Each structure stands twice: as structure tokens, then as C-alpha cells.
Amino acid sequence: MLDLGRQYRPIRGELLAALEQVLDNRQFVLGAAVAAFENAAAEQLGVAHAIGCASGTDALWLALASAGIGRGMGVVTTPFSFFASVSAILRAGATPVLADIEPATFNLDPATVEFVLDKPGRIPVRAILPVHLYGQCADWDAFTRLARERGLMLIEDAAQAWGAEWNGVHAGALGDAAAFSFYPTKNLSAAGDAGLVTTNDSAVAERVRTLRQHGMRRRYHHDELGWNARMDGFQGAILSVKLKYVEGWNQARRAVAARYDALFRAAGLAESGPYPDRGVVLPREVSGSRHAWHQYVIRTARRDVLREFLNARGVGSEIYYPIPLHMQEALRSLGYREGDFPEAERAAREVLALPMFPELRDDEQRRVVAAIAEFLS
Ligand SMILES: Cc1ncc(COP(=O)(O)O)c(C=O)c1O
């Protein structure tokens, strides 16, 4: 699925030098390396503030809490995402309100969000948290309109979307606040856990800085309950090095995606979708959006058998995500049931992520597509 060694080897010397600098100045938690990364990241994204933290999960919680989301408030999000998109809402003290996804992009569907907002008798909703799933922005025109009409905040789960854009604006600069993850598999990745909150709102940024260290503005004066959610100096140093390369890597991902498209079409396997019949539905880039191609995810009817077939031939694949969040044991108390979100449930049965990373070679992609063609024939 992913060979991080191919990314690491050409920049090994630079990474080691950056780590050595942290050892020399011994600023292991926050410090100069993290501050330098925060500044460079904000500049690259075109956003006023970027605040480093310990993980994408912490970034989501910090973004929500700092935007004033808490007890007695609902936050609308998707059931088809990584667990943290929902657990961070609970961690902030708020209530997740789920709405179904669009079958073509797998992103939160603005029309179903509107339907949920109009439902009588639910908790007052204060924010929408769309996830830019697989590296493609959720429909930001529609969500901006909805947020304006209803006086709601927009918080981006941009964990998978470093380098994605909507109408020329970077993911991370679209909403009231956004959260990124630098988990090692992400487009921009740390050597461990790390995350980032971005915002154009200086009050929100100031609160993120406070909450990430136990609500301290002045040393040992705790103004409110925060948490230890700080970024390590080593991670800041590594991320600063990789930040210079990530745009090039994202361009290479685009080329990988285009090559998959061409190979599937040439093999006569591509279907127009949104649901698969006998072939595969290819991912597509929505007009006005720049996909960051964190994942290349196809849809196919006999997904689980295909995956076993690929495994037996040494071809990696992965399912993001096999169980929608409303069907997770830990979220049972939200009161949803199987059948509540048919698009998310169907996607969970049909999606398959294929190997996708910037250094993936043409011959490797041909092997992947040939194996799928063999299975489908
Ligand atoms: C959509 C989404 N949200 C949140 C997270 C949480 O990030 P982290 O693993 O860095 O805590 C991830 C990463 O796994 C993710 O993919």
C-alpha cells in the first residue's frame, strides 16, 4: 500500500541534520522547531494561524473547543470517516449529529445535512464538521451557503487533505478552523504522531495555544481546563523539512491517479457510477476542487472477494472504512441503527483503496490493474 522508504532515502541527510539541531538546542517540546514549522505551514496554506499539536485527534478537539463548541450543542458530521471525526465532538462535550454521504465523493452530503437541520426536536446545532475524505474537499460552496443561512460554524476535518483546494483556496483555510493529522501515512507526515490546527481567527488561535498546554497563558496559572496536546520538537523539525517537498509529492500523486484512470479505462473496466455493476467505479475530481489524492479508492460490487484475490497475489489494498461510525459499539449511545445511513453503509461494503504514494511505479500500477482485470474477467 505504501513504501515510506522511497520517500525517506533521498531526504535522509536533511532529516538527520534537522533532528540533530533539536538535540543540540534541547527544545524537545514545542520550541523553535515547532514555531518554525507553524510559520511555514501557515504561509503554505495561506492562513493566518497554524498551531502545532500532538495528533490529528487533538487538533480536531482543539479546533472545536477553541471555537466555543461544547455541552448542549450539536455538531453535524459524517458517519463515513475515521472514528476521531465523531469522538472529538464527544470529547469537546458536544453531541454528534450524523447525516449521510454523497455516493460519488463519499463526502458529507449538504442536502442530507439540510434535511437533518430541519428535523424537529433535535439538539440545537452550532457547527458542521465536514471531512475532506481521501483528500478531496467536501462541497464547500454548499456548506458555506448553509452555514451563512443558519448562523453555523464550519470546522474542517482536513486530516487527509494537505494540499487539497476548493476554488483555489487551500483546505485548512476554508472554514472557521481546521484540523490536520501528520500520522505517518498522511501526504505530509511526521515520524510519529502530530497534528495542526489552522484558522484565520486570532481569538480561536490564541485559545488553541492555551488549551494545548493545560489552559495556561502564564506559567502555572491555569485559566481553564485544557490538556497536554503539544507537538514535539523532533516532529516539528521533520515536518519543516518535508513541507518543502509535499507539493511535489502531491503532484506525483496526481500522476499516479491519472495513470490508474488510464489503465482501468484501457482495460475496459471503468464504470460511470456512482454504484458499481460488473466493473469498477473510479474516483473522480469534482469541478472546482483540487484532489490531494491521499487515497485512490475504487468502488466494486464483490469487494471482499476481490481483496482476498489481490492479497493472494501480493497486491496491497485497504478498506477505509469497513464499519460506518453509527454502527460502532463505542457510539451506540448516539441512538442510531443499521439502515439509518444507507449511502455510508453501502460505501462501507464497496470501497477499496489501492496502493497510492508519490513514488509508486508504472509497472507496479500495471500489476495492480492487471490483477483486478483478471479477477473481474
Ligand atoms: C479523517 C480523519 N480524521 C481524524 C484523524 C485523526 O488523526 P490522528 O491519527 O493524527 O489522531 C484521521 C487520521 O487517522 C483521519 O483520517
Ligand 1 center from residue 25 Cα (angstroms)? 30
C-alpha cell at 253: 500523486
Ligand 1 center from residue 104 Cα (angstroms)? 22
C-alpha cell at 229: 496536546
- Which residues does a 6 A CB cutoff place in the pocket of ligand 1? 55-57, 60, 81-82, 84-85, 131, 157, 159-160, 181, 183, 193, 195
Pocket test for ligand 1, best of 77, 136, 160, 189 (most atoms within 8 A of CB): 160
Cα 267 to Cα 32: distance, rounded to the nearest angstrom: 52
Per-residue tens of pLDDT for the chain, all 377 residues: 999 999 999 999 999 999 999 999 999 999 999 999 999 999 999 999 999 999 999 999 999 999 999 999 999 999 999 999 999 999 999 999 999 999 999 999 999 999 999 998 889 999 999 999 999 999 999 999 999 999 999 999 999 999 999 999 999 999 999 999 999 999 999 999 999 999 999 999 999 999 999 999 999 999 999 999 999 999 999 999 999 999 999 999 999 999 999 999 999 999 988 999 999 999 999 999 999 999 999 999 999 999 999 999 999 999 999 999 999 999 999 999 999 999 999 999 999 999 999 999 999 999 999 999 999 99
User: Of all protein residues, whose CA lies closest to atom 12 belonging to ligand 1?
Assistant: 159
Cα 253 to Cα 168: distance, rounded to the nearest angstrom: 18
User: 332 burial class (0-12, 13-18, 19+ CB within 10 angstroms)?
Assistant: exposed
Alpha-carbon torsion, ordered 270, 274, 278, 283, to 10 deg:
40
DSSP code per residue over 120-181 = TTSPPEEEE--B-GGG----HHHHHHHHHHHT-EEEEE-TT-TT-EETTEETTSSSSEEEEE
